[in-house]
Amino acid sequence: MGRRSSNRVTIVQVAKAAGVSTQTVSRVINDYPGVLPETRERVQSAIERLHYRPNVIARSLSQLRTRTIGVVTAGLDFFGPSRTLVAIEQRAVEAGFSLHLHLLHRPESNNVQSLIDDFLSRQVDGLIWATQEIGSNLEWLDREPPPIPMVFLESRPRPKVRGVNVDGRHGSRLAVRHLLDRGYRKIGIITGPLTWWSARERKQGWRDALGEAGIEPEDRWLVEGDWLSGSGAAGLERLIGSFPEMEAVFVCNDQMALGALQTGRRTGRRVPEDVAVVGYDDIPEAEFFWPPLTTVRQDLMKLGGTVVDLLSELIAARWEGKAVETPSETVWLKPELVVRESSGARRDEPSPPPEK
């Protein structure tokens, strides 16, 4: 009897030996259709030659139950991603799963093959891609479907991909319609970085609401920020310079809105008397800003819980030996407007008399 090697062969080594991707090896192991006969034979030959028999994959992946979910995330210094991750963890524990977390330090990169290989080698039951779509960082999805059950957050809908999004375009329309209903017509915007899909969605909601009111915004009504308070402060200052007749501003997250409020005070622009301000997110501190911030609330706990529930359905289908082809489905969660003092009273209403 030959001596047993202490180094377990991985799916990555099998893929390299067969000259294919790890996704292809996974499909052969699962007996998925769509693999060329000669490719399937090459993979099976590599499996036998390398004695690929780790304990966790003694049976096919469709029967594997590690009860582990992989999570890819980024930007935990921002309120939205950090709050969503808390919700994912809580719901996963309730459902009997543990998490394997990977934090992307360059979320705009589309070079994710080694990351996916790592998750496959750890035999996670499914994967939550909780990273924003930035530039072309999800371009790989357009070339090849996910090799294991996966659900995506805050990304544009794609064929054969399941996702969950808060409807940012709808949330922005709520914010701007609120300002329009209060009599404001000249409404600027401080966006997030426009390489982000979610930032473009919020910008489009602003434009949609103005268009529905018969208003065509000019380029000088818009300033691009980076989600941080400093860019909100600088953004309002730029708008004051380029758009001095501005009556209100929609700021696409609350952190930037905090900076905008500071610039308003520093430049003598009273909020809401001189310029009304509406934010987005409803961070816990928003009601303690001065003045308290009107903002759009996202139910991030529901977002995180929903993505775990959807992934659990895909994983359960695989465990039961059912077809695991992912339907093209995006669940849209509706945000809500939270009205506070920063958006002011209706402009055609008299201000309340001062208290004696």
- Are residues 172 and 23 located together in one domain of the fold? no
Name residues whose C-beta falls within 8 Å of residue 233's C-beta, 6 or more positions apart in sequence.
Answer: 259, 260, 262, 263
Whether this prediction's pTM lies above 0.85 is answered by no
Domains of the chain: total: 3
Tell me whether residue 247 is in a domain: yes
User: Beta-carbon neighbour count of residue 78 at 10 Å?
Assistant: 18
Tell me whether residue 1 is in a domain: no
pLDDT of residue 32: 66
pLDDT of residue 117: 85
pLDDT of residue 110: 81
- Phi first, then psi, for residue 183 (nearest 5°) are 95, 0
Mean pLDDT by 10 residues, the chain (356 residues): 52 89 79 79 90 53 70 90 94 91 89 85 90 91 81 90 95 98 97 97 98 97 97 98 97 98 96 97 96 96 95 83 64 96 72 41
Domain of 22, CATH number, reads 1.10.260.40
Strands in the chain per DSSP E: 68-73, 98-103, 126-130, 150-153, 162-166, 187-191, 222-224, 248-251, 276-278, 295-297, 329-333, 336-338
Tell me whether residue 311 is in a domain: yes
Tell me whether residue 356 is in a domain: no
pLDDT of residue 162: 92
- Are residues 163 and 304 located together in one domain of the fold? yes
Question: What domain range includes position 293?
Answer: 168-298+338-343
For residues 126 and 319, is the Cβ–Cβ distance under 8 A?
no
Strand order in the sheet with 68-73: 98-103, 68-73, 126-130, 150-153, 162-166, 329-333
- Phi first, then psi, for residue 47 (nearest 5°) are -60, -45
